[in-house]
Structure 1
Amino acid sequence: MLDEVIGFNVRSVLVIGIGGGGDVVGSTITYSLAINEGKEAILGAVLWERYVNDVVPGPIRIQELRNADALGDYLAIVNGDTYAVREGRHVIPQIANVLSVIKDDGLGISIAGPVSSVAKELSDYVSKYGIDAVIGIDVGGDVLALGNEDGLYSPLADSYSVAILSRVQDTTNVPVILGVAGPGVDGELDRDYVLMRISQLAGKGAFLGAYGPTRNDLMILEDILSKAITEASGLVFKAARGHHGNVGIRGSTRYVRLDVSSSITYYLDLKKAISDLPLANLIINAKDPWDAMRILNSRGVMTELNFEEEVYRYYRAKSRIPSPEEAYSMIKEIKSKLRAQVQLMNR
């Protein structure tokens, strides 16, 4: 199937969870597909954990990793024993939890630097190791956001990664596929809205196919979920096991509608989709995620980095992370302030 999705017979593929945190868990469905079809597959992930696992704002830097082999400033070979030390705290990236189950090494990607610099290292890696195709997986579908959606609050890692992958494709001419696993399962963009965006991109010839997990995929995923910290990818599994109806996420501060279709991964041709991904295009020349945050904020778009910095201030003041209800209130307040700032600028 992957050969049909990519468009030619591939020998090796790099599968990357592009949104940080638990996206790498949902990415294992595509990774398993590649392995089962006899491909040489490498599992990668953007190293950026959610605040419940890492209270320090922003992505993990390569220099913060332990039990990993740095390949440069932004890439490292990681394994099941890899962890990061951030302000004295030990943080286990979700890719390490995944690799401890599948018993393999993987690629950790730090997006702490300029889009151009991360893309250069990743392009060199793709060329050096003869990667035939790159597949970036976003769980939930925020990567398809336009920026003005009410529920959107964490588009930065996805969009930054897409900007990087777009440059990799231009540099290497290796096909880059954008996968959306479990539309709407992260509780931000509504499932029907994500499917509508996929349909719009299909109208531009970007849709390449879709894949649902097999029983064997789900057995592996169940083992991974016993170790990994993720809600959204867990709902992909739950949907495949037959859950139908609404389910709470983020401490039941929002709800996701699930059925078996919520377990599907949809594949898009990034080259044909990129012109309709405005957030990635806005930050294509960003110097780092903080620079990207400022660019997106200037358009009234909130990011997870805004939220993480607010959570960190709260943590420093109260020595605990906020409850889900407090976190949700923070998100609403940040979004409200950004809208007010943009309205003031446009007067």
Structure 2
Amino acid sequence: MEDSIKPSLLEAALGKQKALVLGIGGGGDVIQGIPVARLLKQIGLETVYLGGVACSWWTPDGNPLSETWGTAVMGPTLYDVNELSPSHYLAPHIVQVAKDTSLNGRLPCEASLADTLPGDIIYIAGLTGGAQGLADGLNKLVAQEGIDLIVGVDIGSDTFFDGKNTMPAKTSLVDFISMGAILEQKCPIFYGVAGYGADGEMPLDELDERVQRVMTAGGYLGAHGLTQGDVAEMETACELYGDPVEPISWRAAKGEHGWNNVWTHGPWGTAVKVTPLAAVMLFFDPKTLAEKNSHGIIAIQRSTSLAEAEAIFKEELSQYPESKLHPTIEFFQKE
């Protein structure tokens, strides 16, 4: 019986020295890495690499939210990390960033928060090489730096997309590429999701069904409730970088529950029901998640370029790649 028991994140991390925490969906997902990084440092890890993927929801001038009436940020900008400046090369497709790192004047979330995040090394990982390109970079970084474990972090529901949902996938491509790369790693790997259902990309009852499927298969690896210290640091991060979704987890920890309108997917926003569970990060085994529910991860795992990942997402999974959306759309006629 003991041989079949998978360790929790806490159990796997005890006695270890180095960990890598990756916001898998782009945008401000690195903010969901704050409680994980804090927890790992509190139990004695010496070094935590904290970062996200090279995918930003931006207006042309680099704001995560449009300040123009009737104009909404719709599609992400996926970019080559080698175009970031200044930056420091860590491994293929992975660079260390600082507070002044930008892409032609636009600051990614990781750079905006570089001086406030609880990581020792703040980085951005690129997706231009597909899942295999990122996997190669992570493998090399893990080997050369002696990283003991990897935690992919997320908010909402989109990684649980299984192709049978009522609504089509809205932002699952980037998550699937990141998760495909994580599956290739030889060290212990974990997937953590906070802000349960907060992205509004599937109804809560559908998310419950998919989470139950993974739990039934033995893929649930414990949880971490956001502490008041976590909340304080996440709130500070969201004040500095105004992502529309990332605040929901820490706001739930402060009692902000019920129906909310989140400024995503167009000028009318998205109705999201926030429950107390949104204040808890649930951890899962990425392999069980991919094999028992999110089969798109396995399909995209073989991709060696962003274009190939997009083609698989469109042709094999019959979904629209969010990377093909216009970054911003002006929905209303000018008066």
Task: Give ranges in structure 1 of 5+ residues lacking alignment.
Answer: 313-320, 327-347
Residues 1:19 and 2:25 are matched in the alignment: yes
Residues 1:42 and 2:49 are matched in the alignment: yes
Once the two structures are TM-superposed, the CA of residue 2 in structure 1 deviates from its matched residue by: 6.3
Residues 1:306 and 2:324 are matched in the alignment: yes
The equivalent residue for 2:98 is 79
* Greater Cα offset, 134-143 or 92-101: 92-101
CA contact (8 A) 1:242 1:259 kept: no
Change (3 A) 1:207 1:242: same
Larger RCO (CA within 8 A; separation ≥ 6): 2
For the residues of structure 2 that align with 1:296 and 1:266, how far apart are their CA atoms?
A: 26
Once the two structures are TM-superposed, the CA of residue 72 in structure 1 deviates from its matched residue by: 4.1
For the residues of structure 2 that align with 1:177 and 1:304, how far apart are their CA atoms?
A: 25
The equivalent residue for 2:276 is 260
**Which of the residues 115, 119, 136 maps onto 1:100?**
115
Residues 1:60 and 2:67 are matched in the alignment: no
CA contact (8 A) 1:98 1:224 kept: yes
The equivalent residue for 1:200 is 213
CA contact (8 A) 2:9 2:222 kept: no
**Which of the residues 309, 325, 331 maps onto 1:292?**
309
The equivalent residue for 1:317 is none
Matches within 5 A, 1:111-122: 111-122=127-138
For the residues of structure 2 that align with 1:125 and 1:174, how far apart are their CA atoms?
A: 12
Structure richer in helix, relative to its length = 1
CA contact (8 A) 2:130 2:308 kept: no
SS in 2 for 1:99: coil
The equivalent residue for 2:189 is 176
After superposition, the C-alpha distances for 1:256-302 in whole angstroms (9 at most, x for unaligned) are 10132112111011233331221111112213222212212123212
Change (3 A) 1:2 1:83: farther
CA contact (8 A) 1:5 1:209 kept: no
What amino acid does structure 1 have at the position aligned with 2:287? K
What amino acid does structure 2 have at the position aligned with 1:152? A
CA contact (8 A) 1:239 1:262 kept: yes
What amino acid does structure 2 have at the position aligned with 1:148? K
Change (3 A) 1:2 1:92: farther
CA contact (8 A) 2:91 2:140 kept: no
Aligned length: 306
Residues 1:33 and 2:39 are matched in the alignment: yes
* Greater Cα offset, 293-302 or 219-228: 293-302
SS in 1 for 2:112: helix
How large is the RMSD of aligned CA atoms in angstroms?
2.2
User: Identity rate of aligned residues, in percent?
Assistant: 24
CA contact (8 A) 1:142 1:158 kept: yes
Change (3 A) 1:199 1:8: farther
The equivalent residue for 1:160 is 177
After superposition, the C-alpha distances for 1:47-68 in whole angstroms (9 at most, x for unaligned) are 1001444789642212210121
CA contact (8 A) 1:139 1:233 kept: yes
What amino acid does structure 2 have at the position aligned with 1:70? Y
For the residues of structure 1 that align with 2:33 and 2:222, how far apart are their CA atoms?
A: 16
The equivalent residue for 2:69 is none
Q: TM-score, with normalisation over the residues of structure 1?
A: 0.82
What amino acid does structure 1 have at the position aligned with 2:198? V
For the residues of structure 2 that align with 1:79 and 1:206, how far apart are their CA atoms?
A: 36
SS in 1 for 2:111: helix
Once the two structures are TM-superposed, the CA of residue 9 in structure 1 deviates from its matched residue by: 3.6
Once the two structures are TM-superposed, the CA of residue 8 in structure 1 deviates from its matched residue by: 5.7
Once the two structures are TM-superposed, the CA of residue 151 in structure 1 deviates from its matched residue by: 5.0
Change (3 A) 1:222 1:2: farther
Task: Give ranges in structure 2 of 5+ residues lacking alignment.
Answer: 1-6, 64-72
The equivalent residue for 1:6 is 12
**Which of the residues 209, 223, 238 maps onto 1:210?**
223
Q: TM-score, with normalisation over the residues of structure 2?
A: 0.84
For the residues of structure 1 that align with 2:283 and 2:199, how far apart are their CA atoms?
A: 18
Once the two structures are TM-superposed, the CA of residue 204 in structure 1 deviates from its matched residue by: 0.9
